Amino acid sequence: MAIDEDYQSTWNKVATIPGEDCEIDVWANDERPYEGTDSDKLGIWGTVVGVDMDECIGDGACIDACPVEVFEWFDTPNSTASKQKPLMLREPECIICRACESVCPVQTVLITED
Ligand code: SF4
């Protein structure tokens, strides 16, 4: 299922994950709770660079496409959809080119300009 394009207005920020010189927001709601990075309930991560971590199949197209290396692989061993995901480790470096969004085969990436 594609990422919920309204997640920033209809979901809640429930946690943060350390990035490189930034904090990455974690978003969840009643139907899609967050239960920790080592769980199978991950929610959506990121604000400028949003990824639905439960739906992400971890094919890595976004990591390869990013011209400024925003992403790094992150282990999610208990996720049903994939055991690794793209962590937006350097989210503030995003230049809003939307390459990651357009190459994602399952539409789980959403770029949001400030
Ligand atoms: S929008 Fe462009 S710069 Fe930003 S994370 Fe995606 S590929 Fe990288």
Retrieve residue 37's tokens: 């990075």
* CATH number belonging to domain 7-111: 3.30.70.20
How much is the pLDDT for 114? 76
Residues at CB less than 6 angstroms from ligand 1:
49, 65-68, 70, 94-100, 111
Q: What is the pLDDT of residues 40-61, one digit of tens each?
A: 999 999 999 999 999 999 999 9
Residue 50, H or E segment: strand 49-52
- The closest-lying atom of ligand 1 relative to the alpha carbon of residue 65 is 7
Mean of the pLDDT values across residues 62-79? 98
Q: Fill in the DSSP letter of residue 69.
A: -
Alpha carbons 43 and 32: distance in angstroms, whole number: 6
How much is the pLDDT for 22? 97
Residues 6+ apart with CB under 8 A from 40: 54, 78, 79, 80
User: Is the pTM value of this prediction over 0.95?
Assistant: yes
